[in-house]
Amino acid sequence: MVRSTLFNVAFYVVTGLMLVFLCPLLVCPRSWAMAALKLHARIALWLQRIIVGTRFEVRGLEHLPAGPVLVASKHQSAWDTFALIPLLRDPALIMKAELMRIPFYGWFSRKFAMIPIRRERRTASLRELIRESRERAEQGREIVIFPEGSRRSPGAPPDYKPGVLLLYDAMNLPCCPVALNSGLFWPRRHFSRYPGTIVVEFLEPIEPGLERKIFRARLESSIEDACDRLLVEAANSASPPPLPQSARQRLTELGEGHRECVQKENIC
C-alpha cells in the first residue's frame, strides 16, 4: 500500500507537471509533442519499476509490420493507454471523444491527432472514425484500437465490439493483435499496484481482405489464447500478483495455473 501510494502520487504529479509546463508544445510541430508523450510513458514505467518493482517485457515486436497498420490490443488497465506508445513509431489511438474535452489532456490529445469516437452518434461517428483513421494511415501512422472498447478484468469473457471489424474492412491494412497482462499488476478501478513483470506480446499479423467472420474469429482467438497463456505464466511465477475473481475463474476453466497462488494465500 505504501509503494502504491508513493507511485500514484509520483505518477500523477509528473503527469500534471508535464501537461502544464509542456504547453508550449501545443504550438510546435506534432512530432515534438509525440516525443514528449513517449518521454512521459518512459518516466512512468521507470517510476513503476523503482517504486513498485513492476518490470516490463515486450515480446514479438518483430511481428509489427512496417508502415501503416491496424493495431488491435487487449485492454485491461489504464497502463495500456500510455505504455504502448513508446513501442510504436507514430501511433494514433482511438479514444472516447469526451476525453478530448478535458483541459490540458484533451488539448494534447488533439495535438497528437488522436482519433475521437462519439458513441452517442453511432452511424455518423463510425463514418468519421473511418475517415480520420484513413487520414492517419495515409501519414504512415499505426491506428491503435482496443476492440472491446473499455477495460476488461483479466480472465473475463471477451466482449469484442464491431468497430474493429469496420476499420479492418474499410482500411485494407494488416492487423497486428496485441496480448498483455497489465490488469494483474495495475488493476482497473483499483488503487493498488503490484510488483512483477507486465508482458506485452505482439502476435502474428492478420492479412487484409478476409471475410468479417473469419477475421473476427482469428483476432479473438489470437488475443484471447495469448492472454490466457500470459495469465497462467503470471500465476505460476515465483511471486504471483493477487488475482481477481475473473482470473481465478478463468484459471479454473483452463485447469491449471492457480494452485501456487492459492497455496501462497496471495489471492484478493
SS (H, E, C) 81-148: HHHCHHHCCCEEEEEEHHHHHCCCHHHHHHHCCCEEECCCCHHHHHHHHHHHHHHHHHCCCEEEECCC
Q: Which single residue is written with the C-alpha cell 515534438?
A: 32
Range of the domain at 44: 2-263
For residue 99, name the pLDDT band (cuts at 50, 70, 90): confident
222 pLDDT band, cuts 50/70/90, is very high
* Residue 134 to residue 136: CA distance in whole angstroms: 5
Residue 234 falls within a domain, yes or no?
Answer: yes
Average model confidence (pLDDT) for the chain?
92
pLDDT in tens, 178-210: 999 999 999 988 899 999 999 999 999 999 999
pLDDT-based confidence at residue 120 (cuts at 50, 70, 90): low
Q: How many CB atoms lie within 10 A of CB 37?
A: 21
196 in any annotated domain? yes
Q: What is the CATH number of the domain that holds 66?
A: 3.40.1130
What's the domain count of the chain?
A: 1
- 15-51 tens-digit pLDDT: 999 999 999 999 999 999 999 999 999 999 999 999 9
Answer yes or no: is 268 within a domain: no
Does any domain span residue 99? Answer: yes
Output b/e per residue, 39-78; b: 16+ Cβ within 10 A: ebbebbbebbeebbbbebeeebeeebeeebbbbbbbbbbb
pLDDT in tens, 158-181: 999 988 999 999 999 999 999 999
Residue 105: inside a domain, yes or no?
yes
Is residue 263 predicted with pLDDT exceeding 60? no
In a domain? residue 7: yes
Q: Residue 118: what pLDDT?
A: 79
